[in-house]
Chain A
């Protein structure tokens, strides 16, 4: 579904991403894990068109998308939940969700809302509440719900566990699991390797802008190097 080949991304003179290649197949959860500064978010932002790669190619649904503007990618079915939630704080929950459906025809909005509400009971309870008054976990749910409103083929989650209490992290990953079972393809970027590997099918381990390891999530969990570096064992 998504194929990224040999991308090199620079921030000025800093070579942030070095020859990274990976692929996401339909129905999979693929996770990119790595420490701070490994380049996880940079890769996501490159895929979603916010940053440009100097080389290589990005193919989404058999179409080259390296030079497609970010807002057009959303209409093509690529949705990103940006790092740090970033909900529209002064809008209500429902308005936030409606903004997510910006690229969809008006007739689909209600069905989308029902779908999101059935998945996130909490959001339904708070639909008229201003998003700024939600807790961190609820805001993360809202950000995910908003991304789902655009009916994505591929959902990209950028550190959904960031800044959340362990109990809430469990909840968020439970939701990711449910989305996966419902057939959503997910590209998950995480620092919390343990949690990410527990839900993912396949994983890529990044180190200073390179893919250091790749394989099935199970292999990664059992890999000594990964255990030592990320799982604290």
Chain B
């Protein structure tokens, strides 16, 4: 058999960076020429991608079913907004954009903390029970956001009337950068020793424990990383909408994100990205059908689940370099590289 060509690691990174740069430039170019409506949809796609990819850590990789993702998102959204509003004096020193970035980071950290606090008791359960308990926590967060002002005695979250006048700092650029960062970080984490530990817990918790893996630690870790990125997405969402109301983050929002993950294929990052895109675009594209919009949306979900119950992508994950390798080898008349460890 002839030798097959394999692309070395540094070149793979280079290829990926080149792709990102191309995407960013075309995206930025498009955003400037298309009208504002499309630009908004593009940003929403980005935010939803971060949400889906982050929930995928807990559902796809850890194999649990949390239903409180909107809760973490709202924690992030409120943290970032309140920070940006209250710390507006910072903008004089470091500028508006940097303040927003700081707010996003803080949003992630606070959400991750909530992830740890909720994760430790919740992750003792699994399956349906975990779903219910996280659903409960999600609702608790929402109700707290609604009522905390009267407890504190001063205006903090502005309860049901909503937090208004949030500076609209979310741009295509920072959404794009964060989407790329999220995907890259989650990907490298899952390829690392810690990622393997998380995957092995999904495969078989008892065996993982027998291998000497701190299951509680890794479950909580995965859960809070998931919450971290959800918080960042929440911060972006706040800067995108300009107004926050706790009721936006009800459990239907959690379900919506879960649908994206399941439709894309649990454990597939490409799946999450594609289905977050499709499920964001679809309701917008169907606006012309007005009344039938949600019917079509639901029908699509049913059809995909009947014909492809593992989701659009199953557990398949995308590697541009692998695709290139295949292309080069096929064109050179060589057999494509067989990657045994494939899917993940």
Q: Which residues of A contact B (CB under 8 A)?
A: 48, 50, 69-75, 79-82, 86-92, 95, 98-100, 102-103, 128-129, 143, 146-147, 150
15 A-B pairs within 8 Å (CB atoms) are namely A69-B214, A71-B213, A88-B204, A88-B207, A88-B208, A89-B203, A90-B315, A91-B199, A92-B341, A99-B211, A99-B213, A100-B211, A103-B211, A129-B340, A150-B211
* Contacting residues, chain A, for B211 (C-beta < 8 A): 74, 99-100, 102-103, 146, 150
Decide if A79 touches B341 in the complex (CB within 8 Å).
no
A233 to B205, CA, bound (A): 40
Decide if B210 touches A79 in the complex (CB within 8 Å).
yes
Query: Which residues of B (165-217) have their CB < 8 Å from a CB of A?
Result: 193, 196-197, 199-200, 203-204, 206-215
Decide if A95 touches B196 in the complex (CB within 8 Å).
yes
A95 to B200, CA, bound (A): 10
Decide if B341 touches A50 in the complex (CB within 8 Å).
no
A80 to B213, CA, bound (A): 13
Decide if B340 touches A74 in the complex (CB within 8 Å).
no
Decide if A103 touches B212 in the complex (CB within 8 Å).
yes
* Contacting residues, chain A, for B212 (C-beta < 8 A): 70-75, 102-103, 150
Nearest B residue to A85, CB-CB = B207
Distance (whole angstroms) from the CB of B266 to the closest CB of chain A: 12
Decide if A88 touches B209 in the complex (CB within 8 Å).
no
| Partner among B196, B206, B214, B340 whose Cβ is within 8 Å of the Cβ of A99 | B196
Decide if B341 touches A128 in the complex (CB within 8 Å).
yes
Distance (whole angstroms) from the CB of B60 to the closest CB of chain A: 12
* Contacting residues, chain A, for B199 (C-beta < 8 A): 88, 91
Query: Which residues of B (77-118) have their CB < 8 Å from a CB of A?
Result: none
Known: A79-B210, A86-B204, A87-B207. 15 other contacts (CB 8 A): A70-B209, A70-B210, A70-B212, A71-B213, A74-B210, A74-B211, A74-B212, A81-B210, A82-B206, A99-B196, A99-B208, A103-B211, A103-B212, A128-B340, A128-B341
| Partner among B197, B203, B207, B344 whose Cβ is within 8 Å of the Cβ of A82 | B207
Decide if B210 touches A91 in the complex (CB within 8 Å).
no
A46 to B212, CA, bound (A): 16
A90 to B314, CA, bound (A): 13
| Partner among B203, B209, B213 whose Cβ is within 8 Å of the Cβ of A91 | B203
Query: Which residues of B (263-321) have their CB < 8 Å from a CB of A?
Result: 315
Distance (whole angstroms) from the CB of B206 to the closest CB of chain A: 5
Of the listed residues B197, B200, B211, B340, the one surrounded by the most CB atoms of chain A closer than 10 A to its CB is B211
| Partner among A48, A99, A147 whose Cβ is within 8 Å of the Cβ of B200 | A99
* Contacting residues, chain B, for A86 (C-beta < 8 A): 204, 206-207, 210
Distance (whole angstroms) from the CB of B277 to the closest CB of chain A: 26
A122 to B291, CA, bound (A): 61
* Contacting residues, chain A, for B197 (C-beta < 8 A): 99, 102
A41 to B206, CA, bound (A): 14
